[in-house]
Amino acid sequence: MKLKTKMWLVSQGLLLVTAIIIQLTFYGGIKVGPILGMAKRPYVDIIQGTDPVVPESILAQNLPPEAYDARIPMSREQVVKSNLGAYRKAAQQEHGLRTALIGGILVNVLYFIAYHLLYIFFKRSIERHKKRGN
Q: Please write the tens of the pLDDT for every residue from 102-124.
A: 999 999 999 989 998 998 998 89
Q: What percent of the chain shows pLDDT beyond 70?
A: 99
In a domain, 62, yes or no: yes
In 3-state terms, what secondary structure has residue 53? Answer: coil
- Which pLDDT score is estimated for 31? 94
- 100 confidence band (pLDDT: 50, 70, 90): very high
- Which pLDDT score is estimated for 86? 93
Whether residue 40 contacts residue 31, with contact meaning beta carbons closer than 8 Å, is answered with yes
3-state percent breakdown (helix, strand, coil) of the chain, nearest 5: 70, 5, 25
Torsion of Cα atoms, 26 then 41 then 51 then 35, to 10° = -90
In a domain, 63, yes or no: yes
- 82 confidence band (pLDDT: 50, 70, 90): confident
In 3-state terms, what secondary structure has residue 32? Answer: strand
In a domain, 134, yes or no: no
Q: What are residue 112's phi and psi, to 5 degrees?
A: -55, -50
Counting the structural domains of the chain, the total is 1
In a domain, 50, yes or no: yes
What is the pLDDT averaged over residues 25-41? 93
In a domain, 105, yes or no: yes
77, with CB counted inside 10 A (0-12, 13-18, 19+), is exposed
In a domain, 104, yes or no: yes
Q: Whole-angstrom Cα distance, residue 111 to residue 93?
A: 26
User: Whole domain around residue 46: which residue ranges?
Assistant: 3-128
In a domain, 133, yes or no: no
